C-alpha cells in the first residue's frame, strides 16, 4: 500500500545504515521506530521511537505491528522469522525469504549456482566428511562461517586441507563455505532499488578497495569498461528478480581478468553506497524509503564524482588514543564529514566516513590526497 508522509515506519537494526534510513525518512516527513537491543544505537538515538529489545522479542514485534505501517531492515542477521511474523500484519520489504537466503553463505552461494549466476568455486562444509570431496583446485582458499560473519570476521585463509580442517575446528565445526581465493583485479558493487511495481533503478557501479577484509575506499563511478559495467548491473538485476526483491539490495562482485564473480549479496543499503548520499540525486537511503512506502523510485544517477573513505576506530587509537583533527577535513573544499554518533571507538569499528565530491575527473592523486588527510587525522 502507498504510504503518505507522517506515517510511522519501522526499521529493524539501529546501526549507521538505519541512521541514514531515519534521516531519509525524516527528510520526506515520515516517522520511524527503530528496533535495536543496543541502547546507544546510532539510529535509535535519532528515531522517533527506539524499541530497545532483541530482534525476536514478541512484545517489541507486536508493538511494531500496532504502531507502524511498514517495516524494513538494515541488517542481514535479523531473524527471518521476525520478518515473517511482521509480514502477516504489516507491509515488509524486503521479503523474509530473500533475507533468509542471503543471510547464510551456504544458501546464498547455492542459490547463485542454481540460478547460473557466476560464483567462484566453493564447497559447502557441514561436517568433517565434507572435506573428502574437496579438490586441490580450491586452494589457497578462504573458509567462511555461513552465518553472522561481517567485515572479514569469521573468515580464515587456508593453504591446504589440513589448514582448512584446523580452521573448521577453530570455528567450532559451525557450518561453513570453503571458497577458492580469487586473484582480484578489482572489486565492484552494484546497489539497486526495486519498487513494488517491479521498476529497477541502479546507482552507478562503485569500485571498492578493502583492507583486512573491511571496505576502505569506494570510488564512483568505477574505473571499468562499459561492458563490464553493463554485465554486473544486469547480474544484480537478475538476482533481484529471482529473489522477488522489493527494496534496496547490494551485490558485491570480484573482477578477475575477463571473469566476473558474485561475491555476496546484502539485503539492504551498503557501505559502498555511502557515496550516493553526497553524489547522487537520490541516495540509496532515499530509495529504501521510497520502495518501502511503495512510491516511485528517485533518480539514482550521480551529479558528482565521488571518493568515499571509511573512518574506523583505528583513527582514534593510533598512534595513541586521541580526538582526530576534524578541522583538517572540514577545511578541505568538497570534502564532507560523516560521523555515526558512536560513543566508543574501537579498532575496526566503523565510526564514520568522508566523501570527496567533485565535477573533475577522478584521478589517483585525488585518492592519495584523501589517504594523506586520513593518515594525519
User: Which of Mg ion, ligand ADP, none does 187 bind, CB closer than 5 to 8 A by kind?
Assistant: ligand ADP
Q: Would you list the DSSP string of 288-305?
A: HHHHHTT-------BSSE
Question: In the numeric block, which cell numbers belong to residue 148?
Answer: 553472522
> Given the rule CB under 6 A, which residues bind ligand ADP?
120, 142, 149-152, 179, 181-182, 184, 187, 210, 213, 252, 263-264
Query: Which helix (DSSP H) or strand (DSSP E) does residue 218 occupy?
Result: strand 214-220
What is the smallest separation between the CB atom of 11 and Mg ion, expressed in angstroms?
21
Residue 100 CA to residue 43 CA, distance in Å, equals: 23
User: Which of ligand ADP, Mg ion, none does 341 bind, CB closer than 5 to 8 A by kind?
Assistant: none
Question: In the numeric block, which cell numbers belong to residue 295?
Answer: 512510491
User: Which of Mg ion, ligand ADP, none does 148 bind, CB closer than 5 to 8 A by kind?
Assistant: none
* Distance set, CA 188 to CA 81, 141, 206 (Å): 31, 21, 5
What is the smallest separation between the CB atom of 155 and Mg ion, expressed in angstroms?
10
Kindly give the residue spans of alpha helices, DSSP state H, lying in the chain.
16-27, 58-67, 80-87, 96-102, 105-114, 161-170, 226-242, 275-279, 284-292, 314-317, 327-330, 364-375
Specify the residue, 71 or 142, whose C-beta has the smaller distance to ligand ADP: 142
Residue 275 CA to residue 140 CA, distance in Å, equals: 33
- DSSP reduced 3-state for 171: coil
Specify the residue, 105 or 338, whose C-beta has the smaller distance to Mg ion: 105
Specify the residue, 94 or 324, whose C-beta has the smaller distance to Mg ion: 94
Specify the residue, 100 or 270, whose C-beta has the smaller distance to Mg ion: 270
What is the smallest separation between the CB atom of 135 and ligand ADP, expressed in angstroms?
15
What is the smallest separation between the CB atom of 200 and ligand ADP, expressed in angstroms?
23
Specify the residue, 61 or 243, whose C-beta has the smaller distance to ligand ADP: 243
What is the smallest separation between the CB atom of 62 and Mg ion, expressed in angstroms?
34
Q: Which of residues 237-296 bind Mg ion (CB under 5 A)?
A: 252
Residues that bind Mg ion in the complex, under the rule CB under 5 A: 252
Amino acid at each position: 500500500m502507498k504510504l503518505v508522509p507522517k506515517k510511522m515506519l519501522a526499521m529493524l537494526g539501529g546501526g549507521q545504515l538505519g541512521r541514514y534510513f531515519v534521516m531519509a525518512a525524516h527528510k520526506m516527513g515520515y516517522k520511524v521506530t527503530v528496533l535495536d537491543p543496543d541502547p546507544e544505537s546510532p539510529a535509535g538515538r535519532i528515531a522517533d521511537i527506539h524499541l530497545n529489545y532483541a530482534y525476536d522479542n514478541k512484545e517489541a514485534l507486536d508493538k511494531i505491528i500496532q504502531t507502524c505501517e511498514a517495516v524494513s531492515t538494515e541488517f542481514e542477521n535479523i531473524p527471518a522469522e521476525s520478518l515473517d511474523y511482521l509480514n502477516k500484519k504489516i507491509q515488509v520489504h524486503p521479503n523474509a525469504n530473500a533475507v533468509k537466503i542471503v543471510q547464510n553463505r551456504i544458501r546464498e552461494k547455492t542459490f547463485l549456482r542454481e540460478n547460473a549466476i557466476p560464483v567462484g568455486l566453493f564447497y559447502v562444509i557441514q561436517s568433517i566428511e565434507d572435506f573428502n570431496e574437496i579438490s586441490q583446485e580450491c586452494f589457497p582458499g578462504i573458509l567462511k562461517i555461513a552465518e553472522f560473519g561481517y567485515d572479514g570476521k569469521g573468515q580464515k585463509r587456508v593453504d591446504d586441507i589440513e589448514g582448512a580442517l584446523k580452521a573448521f575446528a577453530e570455528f567450532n565445526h559451525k557450518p561453513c563455505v570453503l571458497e577458492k581465493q580469487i586473484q582480484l583485479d578489482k572489486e565492484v558493487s552494484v546497489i539497486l532499488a526495486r519498487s513494488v511495481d517491479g521498476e529497477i533503478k541502479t546507482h552507478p557501479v562503485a569500485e571498492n578497495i578493502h583492507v583486512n577484509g573491511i571496505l576502505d575506499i569506494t570510488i564512483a563511478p568505477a574505473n571499468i569498461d562499459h561492458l563490464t559495467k553493463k554485465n554486473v548491473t544486469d547480474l544484480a538485476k537478475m538476482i533481484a528478480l529471482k529473489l522477488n526483491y522489493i527494496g534496496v539490495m547490494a551485490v558485491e562482485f570480484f573482477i578477475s581478468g575477463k571473469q566476473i564473480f558474485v561475491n555476496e549479496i546484502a539485503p539492504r543499503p551498503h557501505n559502498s553506497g555511502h557515496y550516493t548520499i553526497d553524489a547522487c540525486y537520490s541516495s540509496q537511503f532515499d530509495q529504501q524509503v521510497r520502495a518501502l512506502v511503495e512510491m516511485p523510485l528517485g533518480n539514482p544517477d550521480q551529479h558528482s564524482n565521488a571518493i568515499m573513505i571509511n573512518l574506523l576506530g583505528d583513527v582514534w587509537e593510533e598512534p595513541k588514543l586521541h580526538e582526530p583533527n576534524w578541522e583538517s577535513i572540514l577545511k578541505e573544499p568538497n570534502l564532507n564529514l560523516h560521523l555515526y554518533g558512536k560513543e566508543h571507538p574501537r579498532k575496526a569499528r566503523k565510526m564514520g566516513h568522508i566523501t570527496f565530491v567533485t565535477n573533475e575527473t577522478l584521478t589517483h592523486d585525488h585518492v592519495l590526497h584523501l589517504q594523506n588527510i586520513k593518515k594525519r587525522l
